[in-house]
Amino acid sequence: MDWVYRGVYLIGDKKTGRITNVQVGDNVGRKHSLPLAIYLARGIEPDHRTLPWQEDIYKTPARPEKEKDQSDRRQG
């Protein structure tokens, strides 16, 4: 069976534009992380410049405000 890979998203620092890896999926549903150089050398589609960044797909949920310290709740 021939493995077919497709790019899913970029891994790296979006602010600086530094791409370290590209997350790819194969034709049986598995995901792999490949260095950008290997992604380019293998000619995997789509063009890496069209892929979203990992942080755009898996956004970190907002952190709830910290509860007041227990000592602030004590009376007296």
Per-residue pLDDT tens digits for 44-57: 999 999 999 999 98
- List per-residue pLDDT tens for the chain, 76 residues long: 677 899 999 999 999 999 999 999 999 999 999 999 999 999 999 999 999 999 998 876 666 655 444 445 555 5
19/17 Cα distance (integer angstroms): 6
Global pTM? 0.72
Please report, for the chain, the start and end positions of each structural domain, with discontinuous segments joined by +: 5-59
46/40 Cα distance (integer angstroms): 10
Note the pLDDT of residue 3: 77
